[in-house]
Structure 1
Amino acid sequence: MDFHILVSMVVWTVSGAVLLFVLMFVDSLFTRYNDLEELKAGNMAVTTRFVMKLLAQAFILSSSIAASNSLPDALLISIVSFFLLLILERTVRLLLAKWGSLDLDHGTQLGKIGYGLLSGSLQITGALIISAFM
């Protein structure tokens, strides 16, 4: 392993970590509750959703890095994938609210772990579907 590969690995890793932080922050703006405050308060439903969302975003980033030849391409693919995932998740949430009377954000904020698991599962499912195109 030469020095160039090591430097590239560090740059790609740091860039990916920064992007994941930004994407998780942006995602938190779309929930009706403050993720960090709920995490600090010990809300396991929010924690479950947060961890599953992080895993979904990391999987998309990992897939885009593996499929890309350049860092800008990988980051752009991850950003576009984030918005696709956001649209997909919001659509399913609206359908669940309309047809099933399930308000995932409210149930998750109340600490109902099933709601957090379902919400997080939507993230992972969407990430798997999106990553299949890479």
Structure 2
Amino acid sequence: MNELIKANINVMKYLGERKNHPAFALPNSVPDPYYQQGSHPDVVERIWDQLGASLPKDCRCLVYGVPALVHPKSGIIFALSRGTNYFLRLSEKIIDEAIKSGAETHIKWVGGGELNVQQELGSDWIIGGWSTNEIEWCKMIFDELNEGS
């Protein structure tokens, strides 16, 4: 995997404080990838076992120790977990549709601070919301990345 892929630069920068971990690693490289990786295990299960399992190839990866989905051919990160949230890169063809159907792009945390995922990661990212549409959206971006590779 190449951390300098243009499409990944914002994600790698966002995760930059975790550089004590390898840029890319397989889930089995740590004792228990569902725990101790900076994400709630339910969120890891969502992206790896629900969204990732719907794809034709295994895309599970740790990016700087954070559970993610990375396209095996292009190396582009298209799902990322963080704390109790997860983020999805969508096809530009459906980003507006996703937002109109309720997908969020901005978080304000109770303890202070906020995140605009489109400013931090890119205009093609949303905050995952456990929508049933997300499986189809992940299949679409997987296919799009496959064709573009």
TM over 0.5: no
Return the structure number with greater relative CO, CA threshold 8 A, min gap 6.
1
Higher normalized strand content (fraction of residues): 2
Higher normalized helix content (fraction of residues): 1
Is the radius of gyration larger for structure 1 or structure 2? 1
TM-score (norm 1): 0.29
